[in-house]
A and B are shown apart, each in its own frame.
Chain A
Amino acid sequence: MFPASFDYAKARSVAEAISILSSVEDAKLLAGGHSLLPLMKLRLASPSMLVDIGSLAELSYIEDKGDYVAIGSMTRHHDISSSRVLKSEIPLLPYVASQVGDPQVRHRGTIGGSISHGDGASDLPAAVLALDAKFVVAGPKRERIVPATEFFVGFLETVLSPDELLTEIRVPKFSGGWSFQKFNRRAQDWAIVGVAAVNDGGTRVSLVNMGPTPMRARAVEEALADGASIETASSKASEGMDPPTDLNASSQYRRHLAEVLVKRALTEAV
């Protein structure tokens, strides 16, 4: 499998990356390459140019900002899974990062790449959704801040425009229970269904691979807020969802798994 031919530029700064994106048609950012390159090899994507930001030091950091932790978008999954700050302040996130793919994937893939890719089957997007994170997005004209709940819009589609770059993920600290349930066949696989739950006074639940984007399980959250039992709340796990059918699982089996996994997640987190 070979990608179609393309040009390559290594950006020396965020500003330079954005200026190339604005001037070259069909240019695309390259982070860890672990989602983009497979698509290119399958010829499902054929950008004219790759703008490599994977090794930009200014985008790789994890900083304690008081009530939130700021994570540079090019921080690798491995660095998140081994971060001491995150382990003590937001333990869900490093745990989720440790469940992504295999060691090779975790040393290449970045949190910003994963979120920008916006794959409903990916783990970190669902995790930051449950964590009510906010994203800092830089563009040619201005910088904007987008809440996770408004970021994912459709299948591999986010609010990012082609000349924008996700620079930072701001994740609020929380104290309380949490759980991440990932159901897959092989250790390195994506989730067939996954559930992230955070209990921080209220309970937030998000689902992996239950729709075109990472999804908040609103029906579950509302039921819990209304005082429903875990059993009753988890039975609403697939309400409003339209999960995909693929070789691993039918839509119906996914709905069932979502209920089982939400129940397990709530039992652990609440």
Chain B
Amino acid sequence: MTVVETGSSERVTGKRLLRREDPALLTGEAKYVDDIREQGALYMALLRSPLAHAKIVSIDVSAAKKMPGVTDVMSGRDLQSEWVAPMPCAWPVTQDMKNPPHFPLATDVVHYVGDAVAVVLASDKVAAVDALAAIDVNYEALPVVVDLEDAVSDRILVHPSLGTNKCFVWKVEPDNDKVDQAFASAAHVTKNRYVQQRLIPSALEPRGVIAIPHPYGGEYTLFSSTQIPHILKVMLSTTIGISEAKLRVIAPAVGGAFGSKLNVYAEEVLALALARKLGKPIRWTEERSENSLATIHGRGQLQEIELAADEKGRITAVRVNIIADMGGYLQLLTPGVPLLGGFLYHGLYDVPAYSFSCTGVFTNKTPTDAYRGAGRPEATYAIERSMDLLAKKVGVDPAEIRRRNFIPPEKFPYSSVPGLIFDSGSYLPTLEMALEKVGYQELRKEQERRRSGNSRKHLGVGISSYVEMCGLAPSKVLGSLRYSAGGWESATVRILPTSKVQVVTGTSPHGQGHETSWSMIVADRLGISPDDIEVLHSDTAIAPHGLDTYGSRSLAVGGSAVYLATERVLEKARLIAAHRLEVSVEDLQYKDGSFRVTGSPEKAFALSSVAFEAFTAHDLPEGVEPNLEATVSWDPPNFTFPFGTHIAVVEVDEETGATELLRYVSVDDVGNQINPMIVEGQIEGGIAQGVAQALYEEAIYDEFGNLLDTTFLEYLLPSAAEFPSFELASTVTPSPTNPLGVKGVGEAGCIASPPAVINAVVDALSVFGIDHIDMPASPQKVWTAIMSSQGNGRKVE
């Protein structure tokens, strides 16, 4: 099953090692940006627009400048000369994509509530915040676009200079005639419209930044609560014209991100530019409500999906049209997010005809961008909701409709019609295992008993089978999708003179446990203890190359680079050992920390001795350089495709509309597992986040573009008390894409769970003739649906 070569007789990978990261995090020893002390730093605060769309007539900062503790107050116009380029969007998805200029501070027009217009610098945090109220901005309100269909109509323009609200239209249309024919001759057709509500990522630690100039060295250090120190360094230098060679970016402990810190933000750009301008350290920590407005949102789509199927319910075509909400401007990856799902609306089903079209639109709202799952939760939700509706049309059980359509194992690697190659998969076992684990037949009986017994608490069971695509990504493919960077990852493995090992990775963990997992990979290959391995990351001075952490890429791409760098170090060590043992390299075997001569195992040379030899360099073989170190930049040949089946069991109280999640079963296949405990942690967090989308969370805007739920009082982030214990299981189908056989697990949970939960809620409500409910399925929404259902609140048979 495992493809990894090991140099150890006792394997570390596959064990539930406790995370080495946790003691520092749990005891408060770990330092987040806001914990870092910096003498003489000025505190920055931003004045944000209270209007969603307005002309800035004038800004008067004179009174604010006189406030106690205030050093300086500047408007967007005051700072316009600081920028050499607008803030970056790295994913111009089409040739003609519209990208309005976006600067850290708006100068003439604000485009969403929260768009910053002025900045205060003061000697302490509170003085900076207090001075904001003294800035006098004169706005002239402009008409506002909130609704996505309204945006498409171009009735009101967010950016009049673009002439339209449509940012781009992006299509995957391999053969539209074939799609049309399939629909013309279909025995069953479903056509549905779903709302992907906007979500606020809500990382536990809001964003924060400290920019420190070293005026006499002409250099800068930037601490940021970011997922992407490397990308940030490149982008900051091109946006404000500081030489990349003079900029060091460090991501210290980062308290969660979920994609919301995969960006280049106005505050990072401002802090660095102001540090340059004033020659003083500048610091900023986001407030919680500020986070709801000024950090990207996730999702925000209107989806229309049609399925064509034959009599048996086998799908013959999928046709999808979506409108995706960009918000007021494009952030780093905004337009690319829907694309990441654009190839996957047929789910894990063998579908011969496919058509996808996405229209990105501007609205007067906070910009959207990648949020855990980025595009794949949306795609999975659309197909998995529709599978249930198709099952109903065909008159078969939701489990059966999936069985009839799964891509069969013999078709792997599977070339999908939209153009991907699914690396490996065995889908049916995950469904059967999940059904068995949840006790599906028994639940159906219980459901029937309740229905015939006139219970007012209805049982619902929802299935969601999913495949997703992660391990971002083959650089060539990214290039063909017009993405501005590559998808490789870099790793260095360095064996120190005392034979301790340093691993340098270009990934930037912020909760994923890379230090633990990477040390396990290296420990296995070298046959040494993980305790002797140190993992360094998230500082561009220590780890100069990297493409950071997002898109469930780190293990598949970065972990593989670590593995390959270990191999390469071992090759060099083998040369030195062979030289000292006076045998040829082919005669050596490596196990448990020593090279041994095949056939005469008493002739051995320990890795620790090699390490010292490489250091002293007294007697190295011809042409071999001192030091034991190797660096690998690895570009994956393909994406990886994790999959699985989740089943949710809910109880819906018909009198109140309340949904209780009773049970949640998941069977996931993420390929080989380096540390199953970390895998489970990722799945559990993901499930909770997806259930939150299904039942609780929504960024709610009023017609004027005001975000109404900017605190956790209104924005319903659920807590552990709202969940049952999840029942997890897995199958293992190694990926042939990378040397570790791993797939990736960071997002799977939240990709699978929203449709599982909504399918369950709708299953429970089917007694009322209800066949859909949009997320979040709040009690009021469910109650309203029951009251306005076919039977006006009564059961229909």
Contact = CB atoms under 8 A, between A and B. Distances in A.
Given A1-B287, A247-B709, A186 B125 contact: no
Interface stretch (B356-364, B370-378, B714-722): B714-722
A260 B656 contact: yes
B408 interface: no
Contacts of A1: 287-289
A249 B719 CA distance: 20
B696 interface: yes
Interface in B754-785: 778-780, 783-784
B658 interface: yes
A4 B718 CA distance: 30
A154 B658 CA distance: 30
Max chain A C-beta neighbours (<10 A), residue from B288, B708, B719, B779 = B779
Contact of A247 (B288, B656, B700, B783): B700
Nearest to A3: B126
Given A2-B126, A256-B783, A257-B656, A187 B714 contact: no
Contact of B714 (A192, A247, A250): A247
B289 A187 contact: no
Contact of B722 (A2, A102, A187, A248): A187
B777 to A, nearest CB: 12
A141 interface: no
A187 B660 CA distance: 12
Contacts of A186: 696, 716, 718-719, 721-722
19 contacts: A1-B288, A2-B130, A4-B130, A5-B126, A183-B656, A183-B658, A185-B696, A185-B778, A186-B696, A186-B718, A186-B719, A186-B721, A247-B708, A248-B778, A248-B780, A253-B783, A253-B784, A256-B783, A260-B656
A183 B718 CA distance: 15
A194 to B, nearest CB: 13
Say which size band chain A's interface belongs to: 10 to 19
Given A1-B287, A2-B129, A183-B656, 10 more contacts: A186-B716, A186-B722, A187-B722, A247-B708, A247-B709, A247-B714, A250-B780, A253-B783, A253-B784, A257-B656
B90 to A, nearest CB: 33
A232 interface: no
B436 interface: no
B721 A188 contact: yes
Max chain B C-beta neighbours (<10 A), residue from A4, A247, A256, A257 = A247
A260 B126 contact: no
Majority secondary structure, A binding face: loop
B655 interface: yes
Contact of A2 (B125, B656, B708): B125
A65 B708 CA distance: 48
Interface of B: 125-126, 129-130, 287-289, 655-656, 658, 696, 700, 708-709, 714, 716, 718-719, 721-722, 778-780, 783-784
Nearest to A249: B780
A248 B778 CA distance: 8
Contacts of B784: 253
Interface string A176-197: 0000000101111000100000
B656 A187 contact: no
A253 B655 contact: no
A102 to B, nearest CB: 8
A253 B658 contact: no
A219 B780 CA distance: 25
A50 to B, nearest CB: 16
A256 B658 CA distance: 13
A186 to B, nearest CB: 6
A186 B692 CA distance: 11
Contacts of B718: 186
Contacts of B779: 183, 185, 192
Interface string A121-144: 000000000000000000000000
Nearest to B708: A247
B691 to A, nearest CB: 12
Max chain A C-beta neighbours (<10 A), residue from B129, B130, B656, B783 = B656
B231 to A, nearest CB: 31
Contacts of B287: 1
A151 B129 CA distance: 38
Contacts of B721: 186-188
Interface string A1-45: 110110000000000000000000000000000000000000000
Contacts of A183: 656, 658, 779
A210 to B, nearest CB: 15
Interface string A240-256: 00000001111001001
Nearest to A256: B783
B199 to A, nearest CB: 15
